[in-house]
């Protein structure tokens, strides 16, 4: 590990069955005017809404609601929420949902007191907040993004076909606390569960496939990937397996809570490609990543060969004896492909609604980053999208 860095993660986690009861310790710390933010209604069906509301009432909170935060939350929904939070004189925002609800709530936290247009300020210009940031708490119901313990907030502008993630550097944007009850994730449909599992795996890969130094983060990443593969195989067959689901939940948090990126350049090109596809299709985030990953990794493999060999051996158990480095590396990606297909991930963008005529536009929407093993040209981006269709 050669780089210098700062590490601080102020989010307090409450993990395990019944963890929501810890709202009793957290709610008194914040003002009376609370905005409860949630998605399209899953929390009403599975009873989590009732539990949260009961605790908010018990603490005498004056609660307004922002309901209907959609997967891949839009800038229009953000503007709507700003009006509700301003009218309510919000002092605390409680997100109850998945990554979309948590992301949206963090975006709202920096927008309620923002004087200009938050889309322009935070997303187009990448600025940090210069206004008061409202405190956020999260009760997580869907596992994958790591949003519960990071400062990321992805917002989509469907008109300009841009899906942009801003990872704020201001620690005030990170949730003050997060409630992680694995039992809350047991009502997720299989499709969402596996999309979340792949999102976790991709987050780890995005940080792992960069740099050539000997870095503790890479050993941590390999351990997280092995744990995830193990638990994912159990959960795929037995979705109600609490042990597997709880390990997946914990892995998701560590995959993207800033720890394993320390001292690393990090890649993130799978996410840039996936987000561009998401802006055009509004598809489930983890599935967009699954569809573009293998065409991307097969293309960059020659540039990061040593790391792909290490990945094959340490994560997938490929025996390198008698093989060239290239063969070992490719076997690793083949093993990854078998695992992905076994889980039932969507391996083609066309199955998510992408069409040939969208390719040029998706390429235009793809932000090109330079932290990985190879900086993609526009032709390569177009090529990857075509191979992913």
Give yes or no for a contact between 166 and 126, defined as CB atoms under 8 angstroms apart.
yes
Residue 100 lies near ligand NZQ (rule: CB under 6 A): yes
* 276 Cβ contact partners less than 8 Å away, ≥ 6 residues apart: 163, 362, 363, 365, 366, 367
Answer yes or no whether residue 103 interacts with ligand NZQ by CB under 6 A: yes
- Outline where DSSP puts E strands in 168-211: 177-180
Q: Does 76 engage in binding with ligand NZQ (CB under 6 A)?
A: no
**Chain residue at closest Cβ approach to Zn ion:** 199
| Binding test (CB under 6 A) with ligand NZQ, winner from 146, 175, 211, 304 | 146
CB of residue 145 vs Zn ion: minimum separation in angstroms? 6
Site string for ligand NZQ, 235-264 (x = CB under 6 A): ---------------------x--------
Nearest approach, Cβ of 192 to ligand NZQ (angstroms)?
4
Distance in angstroms (rounded) separating the CA atoms of residues 102 and 336: 29
Choosing from 55, 66, 114, 142, the residue that interacts with ligand NZQ (CB under 6 A) is 142
Residues near 146 by Cβ (< 8 Å), separated by ≥ 6?
A: 99, 152, 200, 203, 252, 253, 255, 256, 257
Which one of residues 109, 114, 134, 154 is an interface residue with ligand NZQ (CB under 6 A)? Answer: 154
Beta pairing partners, 138 = 95, 178
Residues binding Zn ion (CB under 5 A): 199
User: Which residues is 63 bridged to in the sheet?
Assistant: 34
Nearer to Zn ion, 199 or 331 (CB): 199
Pick between residue 70 and residue 305 the one whose CB is nearest to ligand NZQ.
70
8 A C-beta contact, residue 107 and residue 93: no
Task: Please say which residue, 27 or 197, places its beta carbon nearer to ligand NZQ.
Answer: 197
Instruction: Please report, for residues 157, 171, 334, 345, the alpha-carbon distance to residue 198 in angstroms, rounded to integers and kept in the order given.
Output: 24, 27, 16, 8
By CB under 6 A, tell whether 40 contacts ligand NZQ: yes
Dihedral sign from CA coordinates of 196, 198, 204, 206: negative
Does residue 332 touch ligand NZQ according to CB under 6 A? Answer: no
Among 26, 39, 108, 276, contact with ligand NZQ (rule: CB under 6 A): 39
């Amino acid at each position: 590990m050669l780089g210098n860095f700062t590490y601080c993660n102020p989010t307090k986690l409450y993990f395990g069955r019944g963890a929501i009861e810890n709202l009793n310790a957290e709610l008194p710390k914040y003002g009376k005017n609370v905005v409860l933010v949630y998605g399209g209604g899953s929390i009403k069906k599975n009873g989590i809404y009732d539990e949260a509301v009961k605790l908010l009432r018990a603490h005498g909170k004056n609660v307004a609601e922002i309901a209907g935060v959609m997967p891949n939350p839009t800038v229009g929904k953000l503007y709507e929420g700003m009006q509700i939070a301003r009218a309510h004189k919000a002092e605390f925002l409680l997100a109850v949902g998945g990554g979309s609800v948590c992301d949206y709530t963090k975006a709202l936290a920096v927008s309620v007191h923002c004087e200009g247009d938050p889309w322009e300020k935070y997303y187009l210009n990448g600025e940090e907040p210069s206004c008061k940031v409202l405190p956020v708490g999260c009760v997580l119901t869907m596992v994958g993004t790591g949003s519960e313990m990071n400062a990321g907030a992805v917002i989509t502008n469907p008109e300009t076909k841009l899906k942009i993630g801003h990872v704020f550097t201001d620690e005030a944007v990170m949730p003050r606390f997060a409630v992680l009850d694995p039992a809350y994730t047991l009502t997720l449909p299989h499709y969402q569960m596996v999309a979340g599992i792949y999102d976790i795996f991709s987050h780890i890969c995005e940080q792992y496939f960069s740099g050539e130094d000997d870095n503790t983060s890479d050993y941590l990443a390999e351990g997280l990937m092995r744990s995830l593969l193990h638990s994912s195989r159990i959960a795929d067959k037995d979705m109600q397996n609490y042990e597997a689901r709880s390990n997946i939940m914990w892995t998701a948090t560590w995959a993207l809570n800033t720890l394993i990126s320390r001292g690393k350049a990090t890649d993130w090109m799978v996410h840039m490609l996936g987000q561009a596809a998401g802006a055009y299709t509004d598809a489930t985030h983890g599935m967009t990543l699954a569809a573009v990953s293998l065409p991307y990794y097969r293309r960059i493999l020659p540039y990061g060969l040593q790391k792909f060999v290490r990945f094959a051996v340490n994560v997938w158990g490929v025996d390198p004896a008698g093989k060239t480095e290239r063969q070992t590396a490719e076997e690793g990606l083949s093993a990854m492909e078998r695992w992905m297909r076994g889980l039932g991930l969507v391996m083609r963008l066309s199955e998510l609604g992408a069409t040939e005529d969208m390719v040029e536009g998706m390429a235009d929407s793809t932000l090109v980053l330079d932290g990985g093993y190879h900086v993609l040209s526009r032709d390569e981006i177009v090529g990857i999208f075509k191979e992913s269709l």
